[in-house]
Amino acid sequence: MSGTAAELGNVRIDGARLWDSLMEMAKIGATPKGGCKRLTLTDLDKQGRELFTRWAAEAGCTVSVDRMGNMFARRPGVDDSLPPVVLGSHLDTQPTGGKFDGVLGVLGALEVVRTLKDLNIRTRHPVEIANWTNEEGSRYAPAMVSSGVFAGVYTEEFAYSRVDSEGKTLGDELKRIGFQGDRPVGGRPFHAFFELHIEQGPILEDENVDIGVVTHGQGQRWYEITLTGFESHAGSTPMPARKDALLGAARVVELVNRIGLANAPNAVATVGMLNPYPNSRNVIPGQVWMTVDFRHPDDGVLAGMDKALREGVAEICAGIGLTQETQQIFYYPPVAFEESCVAAVREAATKLGYSHRNIVSGAGHDACYIARVAPTAMIFTPCVDGISHNETEDIKPEWATAGANVLLQAALAKAEIVA
């Protein structure tokens, strides 16, 4: 089948095939509670990558891998010298992750390419499917490091040197699983990039909206804070004489919460990790390491939150005799997605009869870095109760189908159908 854009305007993907692929991928790293644990660059990640490679080859794609392990499955265009329209997300998960976060974007893109092959639809531009390495950042911080290298935010050397909790470096693990390719990272144009993703929040489901047209991505700042006091005997050290690092940490947690509330409704502020030392029941903690995550769509507000955190931590520590080190380890400013790509998503949803609304992404995504080097937009589908980064994360098959249909039409608009 071939035809004009008008004739192909209502072409749809095979929703049942997409759902079957999602469920098949979910078997790799399946957890007892119905989720997935497929941490980046583990043997399970390797299995997921190999399955994706086989599926992409069956769909008529040639798969290449760059030096960060980013995978690109290419369907040639009629003019294969043109920059590709790229669709994708990531296959790695959180330790207690779900079956859809990231995976929907990769397999939804695969379903788009399968549909083009099934119907013999030719496009002027090549179409590629991307699987970005280490989007989650759960094994190697910072998150989205490989799309960050692609966009020139990080160097390969920085990325390779990231270390997990067992002392294994990202670079060594990339080689170990056999996915350190020889293709340069970045340095080539994309005609457009679209990322399909579950919302990871409750808005679309609460409002019974089919599609989120993502206009912006929130800016983020991540911190690591070390508070140092003095460990001593819990039974014989008087209260006024203590230098309790955990007490300081408790007050920092409250500070972070206050900062988030003070900048509501768009701000979120979280302490996600807290490790006291020596972690003994009868020893006053002498040191605490903790993390802070700030997010807001306005960079000026984020800067104000940063100032409030640094001043507040210093004041807390001075009050109880602690020293402190506050280090920002990750930052990217708020992202405004490219207008023509956003319009392509909105027009696709309208054409297909799906309800839709503009939405701001509260989570970080590879698209936020790719937006620095290519015209980019995102498509959100609802997820049940807004739950993500949890084994109970769930979506409905019809939501997945709707999102992939919009992805297909947006891709066709940019890749240009050739009759």
pLDDT digits (tens, 9 = 90+) for 36-74: 999 999 999 999 999 999 999 999 999 999 999 999 999
Q: Yes or no: say if 145 and 157 are a contact pair by the CB < 8 Å rule.
A: no
- For residue 30, the cross-strand partners are 36
Tell whether 101 is in a known binding site: yes
* Mean pLDDT confidence for 376-386: 98
- Residue 261's CB is within 10 A of a number of other CB atoms, namely 11
- Residue 307: CATH number of its domain: 3.30.70.360
Residue 94 has what pLDDT?
Answer: 97
Quote the CA–CA distance of 155 and 93 in Å, as a whole number: 23
For the residues 290-316, what does the mean pLDDT come to? Answer: 97
Average pLDDT over residues 17-26: 98
8 pLDDT band, cuts 50/70/90, is low
- Name 378's bridge partners: 195, 214
State residue 363's pLDDT score: 87
In this structure, the number of other CB atoms found within 10 A of the CB of residue 54 comes to 11
143 and 61 belong to one structural domain = yes
- Segment (H or E) for 21: helix 15-26
Instruction: Confirm whether 7 is domain-assigned.
Output: no
Ligand-binding site membership of 299 (annotated): no
What's the confidence (pLDDT) of residue 331? 87
**In the predicted model, what is the mean pLDDT of residues 85-99?**
98
Dist CA 50 CA 106 (whole Å):
13
Instruction: Answer yes or no: are the C-beta atoms of 369 and 378 closer than 8 Å.
Output: no
Whether residue 3 is contained in a domain is answered as no
Q: How many Å apart are CA 287 and CA 307, to the nearest integer?
A: 23
The arithmetic mean of pLDDT across residues 2-14, rounded, is 69
Mean pLDDT across 392-413: 98
Query: Structure pTM?
Result: 0.85
Same domain membership, residue 288 and residue 210 = no
Final residue of a structural domain among 332, 360, 380: 332
The predicted structure's pLDDT at residue 1: 45
pLDDT bin (cut points 50, 70, 90) of residue 177 is: very high
Same domain, 41 and 78: yes
- The stretch 297-301 carries a mean pLDDT of 93
Residue 97 lies in a domain: yes
pLDDT in tens, 131-174: 999 999 999 998 999 999 999 999 999 999 999 999 999 999 99
pLDDT tier at 7 (50, 70, 90 boundaries)?
A: low
Look at residue 246 and tell me whether its pLDDT is greater than 50: yes
Both 143 and 213 in a single domain?
A: yes
What's the chain's average pLDDT?
A: 96
* C-beta separation of 3 from 412 below 8 A: no
Assess if residue 390 is contained within a domain: yes
The answer, yes or no, to whether residue 396 has pLDDT greater than 50, is: yes
In a domain, 179, yes or no: yes
Residues 274 and 359 in one domain: no
Question: What band does 362 get if pLDDT is binned at 50, 70 and 90?
Answer: confident
Query: Do 411 and 275 reside in the same domain of the chain?
Result: no
- CATH number of the domain where residue 59 is located: 3.40.630.10
Same domain flag for 318 and 344: no
Q: Are 90 and 367 in contact (CB under 8 A)?
A: no
Domain of residue 191, residue span: 15-218+334-418
Weakest mean pLDDT among 360-364, 366-370, 407-411: 360-364
Is 197 labelled a binding residue? yes
Cα atoms in the Cβ-side hemisphere of radius 13 Å centred on 260? 16
Residue 393 counted as domain residue:
yes
> Which pLDDT value is given to residue 258?
98
Q: 240 with 106, same domain?
A: no
The reply, when asked if residue 90 is annotated as ligand binding, is yes
Instruction: Give me the residue label for tokens 């692609």.
Output: 150
Q: Which residue has the tokens 């095979």?
A: 14
Give the pLDDT band (50/70/90) at residue 77.
Answer: very high
Mean pLDDT of 307-315: 98
Structural domain count, the chain: 2
Say whether both 269 and 393 belong to one domain.
no
Boundary (domain end) residue, out of 332, 359, 374 = 332
pLDDT at 2: 47
Query: Are residues 83 and 179 located together in one domain of the fold?
Result: yes
Do 262 and 356 fall within a single domain?
no
Residue 5 belongs to some domain of the structure: no
Residue 1 lies in a domain: no
Both tokens of 318, joined, read 């001075």
**So what's the pLDDT on residue 10?**
78
User: Are 213 and 328 found together in one domain?
Assistant: no
Choose the final residue of a domain: 332, 359, 383.
Answer: 332
How far is 179 from 159, CA to CA, in rounded Å? 15
Instruction: Specify the pLDDT at position 332.
Output: 81
